[in-house]
Structure 1
Amino acid sequence: MGTWESWLAIAVALTLLLTLAFRVAATDLLALGCLAILVVAQAISGTTLLPTAEQAFAGYGNSGLVTVAFLFAVVTGLEFTGGTELATGWFLNRAKTLTGAQTRLFVPVAVMSGFLNNTPVVVALMPVVGDLAKRINTSTSRLLLPLSYAAILGGMCTLMGTSTNLLIADLNAEKIAAGATHRQLGFFDPAWVGVPATILGVIYMIIASRWLLPDRRGAISVSDDPRQYTVEVQVEPGGPLAGRTIEDAGLRHLPGLYIAEIQREDGTIAAAKPQEYLKDNDVLILVGALDSVVDLRKIRGLTTSDDQARKLKVPAWQRTLVEAVVSPRCGLLGKTIREGRFRSHYNAAVVAVARGDKRLTGKLGDVRLETGDVLLLEASPSFLHRQGESRDFFLVSKVKQAEIRRPEQAWYAIAIVLLMVLFAATTQKILCASLVAAIAMILFRCCTASEARRSIDWSILIVIGAAIGIGSAMGQSGAAAGIANVLLGVAGSDPILTLAAVYLATMLCTELITNNAAAMLMFPIAMGAAEGLGCAPEPMIIAVMIAASASFLTPFGYQTNMMVYGVGGYRVSDYVKFGLPLSIIVFVVSMTVIPLVWSF
């Protein structure tokens, strides 16, 4: 490790970690800048111990990175159809507290990740986390990182839970085929360590997340919006909410939104008590802030009252939400929305009305328009251009929305994701599975091609690609192998200390050069250490398998960690603070269980 190339690679990796931790600049700019240092150094010196420009940027063709890009499109299809909510809402919507939400989220994720590749599992559940966080009035930062960690822990329990385990099992099989006498690894062999580590890890995350994870919220929360929109929705006949109480339907604790009254089909008005049963065609009058009104549209079983939106001459997937302020010159002033035939006049459906901080009563159709009223409309994109120059409205602006646009396609989206996960689990061809799933989402109109393109978070992909290039430099320069050999040298001839050194060296390499690269690097080192001690290689192999997946200290060691990095608003310091105790837990479990199950 004494070459200048290895020291430069280490310095660049540490620089990237520190600059990301202190938010010196944008994450993608920092990652590309650090990678550029290595590329320029190689170009000037001509050394073979650093990657060339072609080798350094080869990470952008990495199958894992391309898979993540396709999975963005898959997630978009789930979001715009409400597929994830349909599949998980019955279970997660019952959560009332942070602890309840984490238990209902982390335990199933850990179990599923043992039998399905953990990356698609995390991708499929990420859209749910935002809604779940709003429902229990907490930040997504309390859920996303533990979600990634739960998937990693669950993936440790079987050979197919993660690609790292499969890679090591293949390397081991090659050794046996070449004449080694030790046995093949069984499907559940990693479970001896993985199951207790997962149980203890999930318990730790549920207990510690409220203290060790940040509660990062926007500068303005839902409750800070002074406008009180009145919105009217109808219970879909025969839908999932009919026959359920307000409490069971998940409508009691809507963030920033409450039910003011219930108007029955027979004209009677019912109080919005928690145990009040909802009936077919009930009209719910709700009052709340804009963001909450938009989120309300994600709930299945609620439709626009009187079906006004469906009567628009625009397909549902082309409509958008628009805010418009009524001007003194509006031709419908003094008339109710129904009398003025608002939908026919403007080809737009009124979703909600706000009049300052006043609460409006009664149905939306009976509201008489006044100057300054803010209308939330469902309309075609052309409405923005037509009415932007109209005298009827002061201001017309598009509302950022994440509502369900194509609920009728939800089962298609769910089926596509299930087939993707099944294909990935049985063939381990995750890239192929994600590619076909992304195309299927577009073909089945779960999302459009433009929506899929816009869903890609390029900054995440840039950081992943640059991290792969820096990891390549760590391996090519000999820095990673040098660090591993130093740790093994400290262990001497004691098998327990050597086992600990193999584990720690693999874990360190995982954080620096990603899990699969660490497994490839450390497997021959671990086998060599076992041969040098004259002991069985199984304990060392299991140590490498567990440690290569135990990436809890940086965003770069594991794909799912990187995927939640930007969405959750995390910093590198959050990974260290929350992940270090978890790393210690998995290390202690490994050092306790491995010598008991596999003799040296």
Structure 2
Amino acid sequence: MDFTTIIFGLSIYGWITILTVVSIFVFMARTHIPAEVTFLGALTVLLVTGVVTEEEGMAGFGSEPVVIHAAFFVIVAGLNQSGVLYWLTHNLLGNPRNYQNALVRLMIPTSILAALLNSVNVVALFIDAVKIWSHKLNIAPSKLLLPLSYSATLGGMCTLLGNSSNLVIAGLYLQKSGQTMSLIEPLIPGLLLTAVGVVMVILLQRFIPPRESVEQSFETTSDYTVELLVPTDNPAVGESVEEAGLYNVKGGSLVEIVRFDREIIMPVPKDEWVMGGDRLIYAGQINDILELKRTHGLAAADHHVWSINDIDTKRKMRTAFVNFGSPLIGRSISKTHFEQRNNVALVAVARAGHRVEGQPREIILEAGDSLLLECPPKGDFLLEQENRRTVTFFDSYFVPQLGAKTITSAIILILMFIVSSFHAFPLMATTMMAAGLMMLLGCCRVSGVTKFIEWELLLILGATVVFSVAITKTGVADTLARTILDLCKGHPYVVMVVMCILASLVSEFVSDVGSAAVFFPIMYNQAEMMGCNPMPFVISLMLSVTISFASPIGSSTHMLVYGPGSFRFYDFARLGIFMHVVLLALMLVIVNLIYPLYI
């Protein structure tokens, strides 16, 4: 068949593009394949089938959204290493007197900082502080973590840096119109929506469910860890732990061996030799594990090696949360090389605030599960850098030295926003200059910058730009735009409402970045066909893909708090659906009052 053949108004290239884009959404909604793998796979399909050329495919990774995000990662590294983020965490929030006061103290600063530092960074920064607050106020962490996520998402609407989807739309707008947006382009509608959203959360706080904290499930580690001693005349001496039947046992697993000379072996390989005087530390069901004393001739040690609050310098107990899209989902730790590759040992698993009974290494993991891991001291291990999409930690052992560089990096950030607001330089140049100053003035170490760069996000951003090119190039955007115009009788306001509803609904279940890239060319073409000013259409799309409060998948910030808050999937819908509807309707009114439909 000739690839120029038209089928239902589209060429074969157009149908390949549609099927590829739809497959992205299906894979992200129905599988655990990492988002960056899904996007790169789809990009490969477009390249192999000739929908886009190699030049167009590579151009996406050098586009404005990718370069700006890469530069901003350097800026965040400078803010972190110079102590700006540390100072904000410890001084901005203060000490709330009660829950109502905590909500106000939390949501207002969070929304402001989310506009400046990106919503995801702010949530990750404040989670530990929020958990401390909940302990002091004797309330469930979920009562503060959900408002934290919502306020960060709201604040992220106010600037292009606040959410990744904002930058994608700004970059695509530059390609289409040749005009650069200011960093604070969506500020006015974003501020109004943020103010209304914050008030809604405070007034409707009763819809935020109280969920038992993960720490309560893990606060007495000695309840499910036991230490057994290997007598010197035990028959197992000289055998491997697997041969001796001491590796995977009924109700538990061997997580650590402490040798008589205080050498610590963790994680324990199956072929590790058993020696007299070894102390074997097991995690799991205590009653079952204690049977080993009778069946294998072991002796009870005189004390537990550690508890959650009593850990020596040779080890550190840390809580991690299984990310959405993690390769661990649907698998047990025993079926992976996670422990060996990262030098950690799984001690226990909690789900929705309750410890999951059974042998920890054999539990089938789900998104949001909490893992109690025994790690090397100070958290200095590969997991921090190479497996951030697998699990997430929120405890930090890095305490920077505050000083002149703290002030310098803060000034650089402020100047970046000021310069951008006056359009003195293109946005990409402004962020690159700020990143360069951070490194030039010593606010961040070049060797330490790479761990702050989210390579997966950069790959996704680059791919989405190419998808937008493909949708435009193949005529998909034009065809869909005309179809929707016909259905809506060509009325601009009806078209805008329909498109924003569709975009916001898609964003609740898949990436807001992907939704932005798919809907932008369609919406921009509609504005041109109707002879309208494209800006209200662009800004309304930018805000609508961010108004995702009804599911934990709707925003990266929701996914960050899902595990620490011990949430269930439907917890977000209780308040989120109402916020979604109200804010989406309000947004459409505000945008059309601020931006004229015709120029």
Which bin holds the TM-score, normalised by the shorter protein? 0.5 to 0.7
Q: Could you tell me which residue of structure 1 aligns to residue 56 of structure 2?
A: 55
Q: Could you tell me which residue of structure 2 aligns to residue 375 of structure 1?
A: 313
Distance in 2 of aligned mates of 1:218 and 1:561? 23
Distance in 2 of aligned mates of 1:187 and 1:405? 30
Aligned: 1:426 with 2:434: no
CA apart distance, 1:524: 5.4
The answer (yes or no) to whether the contact 1:75–1:123 under 8 Å persists in 2 is: no
1:153 to 153, 157, 160: 157
The answer (yes or no) to whether the contact 2:416–2:430 under 8 Å persists in 1 is: yes
Q: Could you tell me which residue of structure 2 aligns to residue 75 of structure 1?
A: 76
1:201 to 187, 197, 200: 197
Taking a change above 3 Å as real, the CA distance of residues 454 and 105 of structure 1, as seen in their structure-2 partners, is same
CA apart distance, 1:167: 9.0
Q: Could you tell me which residue of structure 1 aligns to residue 379 of structure 2?
A: 400
1:35 to 43, 49, 54: 43
CA apart distance, 1:17: 1.7
Paired residues for 1:176-191 under 5 Å = none
Paired residues for 1:471-486 under 5 Å = 471-486=468-483
Q: Could you tell me which residue of structure 2 aligns to residue 91 of structure 1?
A: 92
The answer (yes or no) to whether the contact 1:80–1:447 under 8 Å persists in 2 is: yes
1:551 to 545, 549, 552: 545
The answer (yes or no) to whether the contact 2:504–2:548 under 8 Å persists in 1 is: no
Distance in 2 of aligned mates of 1:3 and 1:579? 40
The answer (yes or no) to whether the contact 1:552–1:575 under 8 Å persists in 2 is: no
Distance in 2 of aligned mates of 1:451 and 1:12? 37
Letter of the aligned partner of 1:471 in structure 2? S
Letter of the aligned partner of 1:122 in structure 2? S
Aligned: 1:470 with 2:470: no
Letter of the aligned partner of 1:375 in structure 2? T
Paired residues for 1:119-268 under 5 Å = 120-122=117-119, 125-135=122-132, 136=134, 138=141, 142=146, 145-155=149-159, 194-204=190-200, 223-226=219-222
Q: Which runs of 5+ in 1 are unaligned?
A: 43-49, 175-184, 228-323, 331-354, 365-372, 379-394, 532-536
Taking a change above 3 Å as real, the CA distance of residues 12 and 104 of structure 1, as seen in their structure-2 partners, is farther
1:7 to 15, 20, 34: 15
Deviates more, 1:583-592 or 1:33-42: 583-592
Structure 2 counterpart SS, 1:9 = helix
Aligned: 1:413 with 2:406: yes
Letter of the aligned partner of 2:379 in structure 1? K
Q: Percent identity?
A: 17
Taking a change above 3 Å as real, the CA distance of residues 377 and 4 of structure 1, as seen in their structure-2 partners, is closer
Q: Could you tell me which residue of structure 2 aligns to residue 23 of structure 1?
A: 31
CA apart distance, 1:32: 1.5
1:586 to 583, 586, 589: 583
CA apart distance, 1:400: 0.6
Letter of the aligned partner of 2:541 in structure 1? A
CA apart distance, 1:487: 1.9
Taking a change above 3 Å as real, the CA distance of residues 126 and 553 of structure 1, as seen in their structure-2 partners, is closer
The answer (yes or no) to whether the contact 1:507–1:550 under 8 Å persists in 2 is: yes
Taking a change above 3 Å as real, the CA distance of residues 31 and 103 of structure 1, as seen in their structure-2 partners, is farther
Q: Could you tell me which residue of structure 1 aligns to residue 65 of structure 2?
A: 64
Paired residues for 1:266-415 under 5 Å = 356=304, 374-375=312-313, 397-400=376-379, 403=396, 405=398, 407-409=400-402, 411-415=404-408
Letter of the aligned partner of 1:21 in structure 2? A
The answer (yes or no) to whether the contact 2:14–2:476 under 8 Å persists in 1 is: yes
Q: What does the per-residue CA deviation read over 1:155-193, in whole Å, with 9 as the maximum and x for residues that have no partner? A: 49xxxx97668997999998xxxxxxxxxx999997775
Structure 2 counterpart SS, 1:375 = coil
Distance in 1 of aligned mates of 2:75 and 2:515? 24
Structure 1 counterpart SS, 2:313 = strand
Letter of the aligned partner of 1:525 in structure 2? Q
Deviates more, 1:20-29 or 1:508-517: 508-517
Letter of the aligned partner of 2:105 in structure 1? R
Aligned residues: 422
CA apart distance, 1:525: 2.9
Q: Could you tell me which residue of structure 2 aligns to residue 256 of structure 1?
A: none
Distance in 2 of aligned mates of 1:71 and 1:63? 12
The answer (yes or no) to whether the contact 2:158–2:186 under 8 Å persists in 1 is: no
CA apart distance, 1:15: 1.7
Taking a change above 3 Å as real, the CA distance of residues 77 and 212 of structure 1, as seen in their structure-2 partners, is same
Taking a change above 3 Å as real, the CA distance of residues 476 and 87 of structure 1, as seen in their structure-2 partners, is same
The answer (yes or no) to whether the contact 1:506–1:522 under 8 Å persists in 2 is: no
Q: What does the per-residue CA deviation read over 1:44-66, in whole Å, with 9 as the maximum and x for residues that have no partner? A: xxxxxx21233123222223223
The answer (yes or no) to whether the contact 2:77–2:449 under 8 Å persists in 1 is: yes
Q: Could you tell me which residue of structure 2 aligns to residue 448 of structure 1?
A: 445
Q: Which runs of 5+ in 2 are unaligned?
A: 1-8, 135-139, 224-255, 263-302, 317-373, 381-394
Structure 2 counterpart SS, 1:408 = coil
Letter of the aligned partner of 2:86 in structure 1? E
Letter of the aligned partner of 1:460 in structure 2? L
- TM-score (structure 1 length as normaliser): 0.54
- TM-score (structure 2 length as normaliser): 0.54
The answer (yes or no) to whether the contact 1:518–1:548 under 8 Å persists in 2 is: no
CA apart distance, 1:451: 2.1
Q: What does the per-residue CA deviation read over 1:448-472, in whole Å, with 9 as the maximum and x for residues that have no partner? A: 3332123323223223322332233
Taking a change above 3 Å as real, the CA distance of residues 485 and 462 of structure 1, as seen in their structure-2 partners, is same
The answer (yes or no) to whether the contact 2:71–2:432 under 8 Å persists in 1 is: yes
The answer (yes or no) to whether the contact 2:547–2:583 under 8 Å persists in 1 is: no
The answer (yes or no) to whether the contact 1:80–1:407 under 8 Å persists in 2 is: yes
Distance in 2 of aligned mates of 1:215 and 1:461? 34
The answer (yes or no) to whether the contact 1:81–1:405 under 8 Å persists in 2 is: no
Q: Could you tell me which residue of structure 2 aligns to residue 459 of structure 1?
A: 456
Structure 2 counterpart SS, 1:84 = helix
CA apart distance, 1:527: 4.7
Structure 1 counterpart SS, 2:10 = coil
Higher-Rg structure is 1
Structure 1 counterpart SS, 2:196 = helix
Taking a change above 3 Å as real, the CA distance of residues 193 and 101 of structure 1, as seen in their structure-2 partners, is same
Distance in 1 of aligned mates of 2:212 and 2:55? 39
